[in-house]
Amino acid sequence: MVTRRRKLLVGLGNPGSEYRNTRHNVGFMVADAFAGKHGISLSGRKFDALWGKGMVDGTEVLISMPQTYMNLSGASVSRMADFYQITREDILVVHDDMDLPFGRIRVKEKGGHAGHNGLRSIISCLGGSDFTRLRVGIGRPSHSATDHVLGGFNPDERVLIADIVRLAVEAAEAVVLAGPILAMNRFNNSDVSGKALE
């Protein structure tokens, strides 16, 4: 089996039990589920992160959940990328996104931070924005955005979150193993029920 370039999957969130099941921590949920599916232990404590590494179909994948709080995530990501000599194009960042309705995910090759403090920090610390993102929709509220992202999932959302995380893990696998273009073509037009989107 051919060994491909090492990849870094970063799940964004905030540390601490009070944030565990909040919308802002959906990146942590996806990273943790990806690790569990592939038998990768996130027991490392370097780089201000919970992290681990393992092989996924011939590709070495590092998984990181920065423990610095969201707006300082970039320092952790940059240190790990530098240590393991991982280029920006081999980094996948999984994060919550208010600009996508709840239940949708979207792979994006590059772009700005769109007001997301975790992305803002990563772009600043990496010195560029040309890394792939996996956007997990949490919807935009009519009330306070801060209360929304730091709030827990409502009962209707809790019914779907396991399916959303499962779909996001599949999309992350596609990015890591086949690249963002294939992942975009496969996942950007599906919701958690597998229905085509308008």
92 in Cβ contact with 172 (< 8 Å): yes
Query: What six digits make up the tokens of 179?
Result: 């690249």
Residue 193 phi/psi, 5-degree rounding, is: -95, 0
Q: Write down the catalytic residue from 24, 95, 116, 148.
A: 24
For the residues of 142-197, what is the DSSP string, one character each?
SS-HHHHHTSBPPHHHHHHHHHHHHHHHHHHHHHHHH-HHHHHHHHTTBBTT-PBP
Instruction: Please state, in angstroms and rounded to a whole number, the distance separating the CA atoms of residues 87 and 66.
Output: 18
Instruction: Please state, in angstroms and rounded to a whole number, the distance separating the CA atoms of residues 142 and 148.
Output: 9
User: Helix, strand or coil for residue 101?
Assistant: coil
Q: Is 24 a catalytic residue?
A: yes
Residue 75 phi/psi, 5-degree rounding, is: -60, -40
Q: Which amino acid is at 171?
A: A
Instruction: Please state, in angstroms and rounded to a whole number, the distance separating the CA atoms of residues 57 and 2.
Output: 9
Q: Which amino acids are annotated catalytic? A: 24
